[in-house]
Structure 1
Amino acid sequence: MNIDKVEISRLKMPLKQPFETSFGRLTFKDFLVVSIHSGDFVGYAESASLPYPIYNEETTGTVSYILKEFLIPKLFSVERIKHPTEIHKLFQPIRRNNMAKAVIDGAVWDLYAKQQGISLATALGGDKQEIDVGVSIGIEATVGKVLEKVERFIAEGYKKIKVKIKPGHDVEVVRAIREQFGPDVPLMADANSSYSLDDAPILKQLDQFNLIMIEQPLAHDDIIDHAKLQKQLSTPICLDESIHSVEDARKAIELGSCKIINIKVGRVGGLTEAKKIHDLCKSNNIPVWCGGMLEAGIGRAHNIALSALDNFSIPGDTSASDRYWAYDIVTPEIMLSQPGRLQVPDSPGIGYEINTSVFEQYLISKEFFTNELIVK
């Protein structure tokens, strides 16, 4: 494929209600959409970055800078791209900045799939027609508020309930969910790296609740102490923030740092690396699932396509559009095909069109790049 033009759009979308984790509270999503044009085809991807460097070191602003100053010029430095996997190799000399890399990688994958006349899921090697999905519940002011949301999402048929925890908001919350809804609700806890090894006695109390996993209990860049903690717990540890590459995943598996891995496309630098991690985990009998970053419809569509790969055996966080947004930027909006399940599109690329009116409503700025000039 020959790249004719790259477009960066910055959007700001208000969340239907605030979403709080151990590292902060969000009331809106400020993000970038990259579209890559080649002839009559356009590939789309959405940055996973947040407005603040609270999940990782990247922000919407830093992603924008890295795209304009380094990645887009590199993209135009090659005459022709034969396959999306070439993007990962092209960007290797640039250290980290994975969310910036991922948005180019994803747009090229979507463009490639459209040019080939196949779905993005098929292009990646996935063959599922539907995927099971879960839902993530943020930290609420009271345990009662958490229970209200759990009740609602169970009624909607979600296949996994993820509840955010932090010190002082953990055992009591999980116990209350189990007491009200019983032992069979598929439940997990996400700590977002808010504990230390000194908190092992508290985390061990969670073993009694038959959780699917505890996600990233210790430091965001750690795999050593997680191995020590996993030996003390019967509940599987899932790593999220610690895994930035297939090499990180390999080391964590060899050390025994986790029994499950969460794959987020933005965190690992794109769909190419995400697929490598999936394949490594499959060969080591480590189940994976697709985590969410409060994506709008384009990012959500990429997550659906990735989750069509066979080792995504645990429901991910890719809930329906109306979980977070009054109006989404894709049409049709992403809706449950049946309770707790989403259909994997079989039309070319991501399988959704841009809802232009909604897109324009949330648009803050737009920039165009070609090999010859930048038009603002």
Structure 2
Amino acid sequence: MKIVAAKLHRVRLPLVHEFRTSSHGKSMLDHILVELTDESGAVGWGEVASPSDPFYAPETVESCWHLGERYLVPAILGKEWERPEQLSQLWAKVRGNQFAKSGLDTAGWVLWATINCVPLAEALGGTRTEVVAGVSLGIEPTIDDLLTEVERHLAAGYPRVKLKIAPGWDVEPVRAVRSAHPDLDLHVDANGIYTAEQSDHLKALDEFGLTMIEQPFAPRDLLAHANLQRQIATPICLDESVETLEDLETALSLQAIRVLNIKVSRMGGLTRARAAHDRAHQAGIPVWCGGMHEFGIGRAANVALSSLPGFSLPSDVSASAKYYAQDVITPPVIATQGVVQVPKAPGLGHDVDTAFIAQNAVATIELTS
């Protein structure tokens, strides 16, 4: 196989509901959609779901656009390859920049699956035919607003709710949700906003029977995570801390992790995300697929990844309609009573709405070999 052309589309879509975390809020997103074409004319799509601002990770839309245009796409154009795992070897000299790499890696997997007439999930080795979906809820203006959002998503059938927390918005919101829903699969996500000195405050969450506390401390502070895990019963889940397989090995050695959130974007694409799943599964660590408010292309890739056997917890693969009034794929990702069906059609399993992409693109560039 040989990729002879690549297009990068910077697409802007509004969110149906503003989303706020411990670091920032957002009501509109720009993501880069990657379109790879091989010499036969087959097309594979991927998505760079990087944030616009460097708060979750160092990368931004602008940095990913630069890396894609200047380094990553030129590294693969005109090169022969047989398996999608080989693409990452072509840009191996480029350090970091996982979000930028993820869009091209995923597009390579979709292209390979399309040419070989197999569903993306099957290409990855997935075994599940359906995926249980959870929802992630941001920081709301009031606890009553939060309870309204929880009720709305439980009524839609979602069995798991994740709450974003931050100092000043943690114990009391969690207490209110737990009081209203004693049996709810509930966990919290701090996005690394707390410090080790606030560990005693985090220990107060132990009484609420949470499924996990996700990323309480800064990404590189694995010792603080290990120390907190020794002092609480609630499992610590790592997200931002694990960008590479080496990060995962360090966390395992320190016993700083009991659950792993695998994000395709954060890991640099489906190749590394699958490898992280395999290692965690071998170590007995349950995993789930986190989300970055992906458009439909990235969301479909998340569904395919979540079909792997180690994804034993509900994943952030909720329906497209939770975030977008119209998505870039048809049909959109649909959740029925909190369950998403894994597509059986070849490749991505959805049609890509190129007209809608063109309508909402704020920039497009084409590179050829």
Common fold, TM-score beyond 0.5?
yes
Structure 1: 5+ residue stretches without partners: 372-376
Task: Find the aligned partners of 1:334 and 1:149 in 2 and give their Cα distance.
Answer: 20
Distance (whole Å) between structure 2 residues aligned to residue 255 and residue 87 of structure 1: 32
Amino acid at match of 1:181: H
Partner of 1:374: none
**Structure-2 separation of matches of 1:368 and 1:122:** 30
Deviation for aligned residue 1:221: 2.4
Letter in 1 for 2:205: L
Q: Distance in 1 between matches of 2:365 and 2:321?
A: 29
Matches for 1:117-132 after TM superposition, within 5 Å: 117-132=117-132
After TM superposition, give the deviation of residue 77 of structure 1 in Å.
5.7
Whole-angstrom CA distance in 2 between matches of 1:88 and 1:37: 17
Query: In structure 2, how many angstroms separate the alpha carbons of the residues matched to 1:136 and 1:277?
Result: 22
AA aligned to 1:108 is G
Please tell me whether residue 116 in structure 1 is matched to residue 116 in structure 2.
yes
Find the aligned partners of 1:334 and 1:276 in 2 and give their Cα distance: 25
Quote the residue 1:180 is aligned against: 180
**Equivalences for 1:221-300 in 2 at 5 Å?**
221-300=220-299
Counterpart position of 1:363: 361
Question: How far off its partner does 1:362 sit?
Answer: 1.2
Residue 335, structure 1, aligned to residue 334, structure 2:
yes
Inter-partner Cα distance in structure 1 for 2:109 and 2:355:
25
1:183-222, aligned counterparts within 5 Å?
A: 184-222=183-221
User: Match of 1:319, as an amino acid?
Assistant: S
Give the number of equivalent residue pairs.
Answer: 368
For the residues of structure 1 that align with 2:263 and 2:111, how far apart are their CA atoms? 20
Q: Does 1:32 align with 2:28?
A: no
- The one-character-per-residue Cα deviations of 1:1-49 (angstroms, maximum 9, x if unpaired) are 1112101111111111210000100111111000100123100011010
What percentage of residue pairs aligned between the two structures are identical?
42
Q: Deviations over 1:184-224 (max 9, x none)?
A: 10000000001011111111111110000000000122212
- Structure-1 separation of matches of 2:219 and 2:21: 14
Structure 1 stretch displaced more, 82-91 or 159-168: 82-91
Matches of 1:322 and 1:335 in 2, distance apart?
A: 8
Report 1:41-52 matches (<5 A): 41-52=42-53
Report the CA distance between 1:99 and its aligned residue: 0.7
How far did 1:367 drift?
Answer: 1.0
- Contact 2:98/2:268 (<8 A) preserved: yes
Unaligned runs of 5+ in 2: none
Q: Find the partner of 1:349 among 337, 344, 347.
A: 347
Following the alignment from structure 2 to structure 1, what is the Cα–Cα distance between the partners of residues 359 and 148? 32
Summarize deviations over 1:91-148 as a string: whole Å, max 9, x none: 2211101111111100000000001100000000001110000000000010111100
Q: Is the 8 A contact 2:33 2:47 kept in 1?
A: yes
The 5 Å alignment of 1:90-109 reads 90-109=90-109
C-alpha distance in 1 between matches for 2:232 and 2:308: 29
Deviations for 1:224-275, whole angstroms, at most 9, x for unmatched residues?
2111111111100000001011111111011101100100011111111001
Equivalent-residue separation in structure 1 for 2:225 and 2:344 (angstroms): 39
- Measure, in 2, the Cα distance between the counterparts of 1:288 and 1:81: 30
Provide the C-alpha distance between the structure 2 equivalents of 1:89 and 1:356, rounded to a whole number of angstroms: 30
Query: Which runs of at least 4 in structure 1 moved beyond 4 Å after TM superposition?
Result: none
The DSSP-based 3-state class of the residue aligned with 2:15 is strand
Aligned to 2:56: 55
Q: CA contact under 8 A between 1:171 and 1:205: conserved in structure 2? A: yes
CA contact 1:174–1:209 (8 Å) conserved in 2 = yes
Q: 3-state DSSP class of the match of 1:252?
A: helix
Amino acid at match of 1:322: A
Say if 1:88 and 1:273, in contact at 8 Å, map to a contact too.
no
Q: State the secondary structure of the residue aligned to 1:82.
A: coil
Look up the equivalent residue of 1:154 and give its one-letter code: L
With normalisation by structure 2, the TM-score equals 0.98
- Could you say which residue in structure 1 is the equivalent of 2:14? 14
In the other structure, the counterpart of 2:83 is 83
